[in-house]
Structure 1
Amino acid sequence: MTELGDNPIVLRIDARLKELGLSREAAAVQAGLSRDAIRNLAREPNRKPRGSTLERLADVLRVPPGWLLTGHDAEQDRFTQTADFSPSPATQPTRNDVPVMGTAAGSLIHGDFEGFAMDGPIDYVRRPPALVDAKDLYAIYITGDSMSPEHKPGDLRFVHPHRPVQPGCTVIVQTRRWNDDPGQAYIKTLVRRTADRIVVQQINPAATIEIPIEHVHTVQRILTINELFGV
């Protein structure tokens, strides 16, 4: 067994991930799979995924499923007719309609935040299985390592604006300093809220940060893997 990608399917997956600038974990989550799905596949050189899994990954990687399976586009029709890899109707992917609203950095630099603007969709990704009917769901891509290893560069994170936010949750904090300020957004761990400020933490470098409440526009919860899959 190996994690280095001796499985030929994983070699092709990794090649496309490099071209798209995605991590294994980000691609797996976008495909509606567990974040370790590709890594687990890489551990077994002769393992072939289920047809539904292959189709989900192929959709995220923007390649034919047959190419992932064999390396040849012409094999796609034969792939879809092979009993061992036929997709299960119960596991068909859900619709690609969740907007990616930005790219989240968030380290503490010179006493201020490095964040990202929520200025409209930059991409659309697959809706997670447990959130088919969730309203106002959106996603962000992680850049930088300020929240690593919990949130690593390239990871995709889903944000549910209507889920309750509690201390210990990872959150997106959106700030505005004046009425016409387009605002910035930051990924942090919520420590507490008081009448006049919110207190958040980041991992790298370790820091506890206080933000005056008058600058806070919204605090929204990032969902866990269990919440994405209804576990």
Structure 2
Amino acid sequence: MAKNDMKQRVGAAIQTARKRRGLVQRNIADPLGTTVAAVGMWESGKNLPSTENLIKTAEILRVDPAALGRGEVVYLDDVGLADAEVISDPGPPPSGPMDVKVMGVTYGGDDGDFTFNGEIAGYVRRPAGIATVPNVFALHVLSDSMVPRYDPGEVIYCGGRDPIPGDHVVIETFPDQEGQVGKSFIKKLLRRTGSEIIVQQYNPPAELTFDRYAVKNLWRVIPLKELIGF
């Protein structure tokens, strides 16, 4: 494999594992005694970490170091792994078919994955069925917990009305620790009580409960039939 391809694979593996662990780049940089910018360069595939830093990064992310060195992610445990990452901000829809914004970023954010630089890096296409729906945003699916409904790498859209039982939802939780980001999970909403949100997971099949007071946001995933206008 070409060296540049290996850089890309290792960088993507580090980024995916970090985001699924609910960590920010500083959570890797500080224990390693390096900079957030350096971690950003690894994740973007511009540089490879040294063998020592790769092993330490694997320890922080609780993944197999040998697999990480091959650009693969093998989790040593699956405790609290997030299912999704937000790739656009909620907001009123501008005009045009490619109008769900993906904002440009710079490396070096002290308290997050990145710092917004105010520039638009690209767009996610807005399907015709939600052309006039405000406050729509997009997500990348990271895990296989909702296969066969949602596959890793798939782009899904959230917004529209408030979720009701039977909807697929994205649950954003508050961060576990200061300096981290909250994790997002894709599940099927079964019911809500005054203190709990009960959901269904497909893979492996399970019924899960979230503490309502640990949930920052609950968004409905817009189904395909609405996206295409039915």
Interval containing the TM-score (normalised by the shorter chain): 0.3 to 0.5
Larger radius of gyration: 1
What TM-score results when the alignment is normalised by the length of structure 1? 0.47
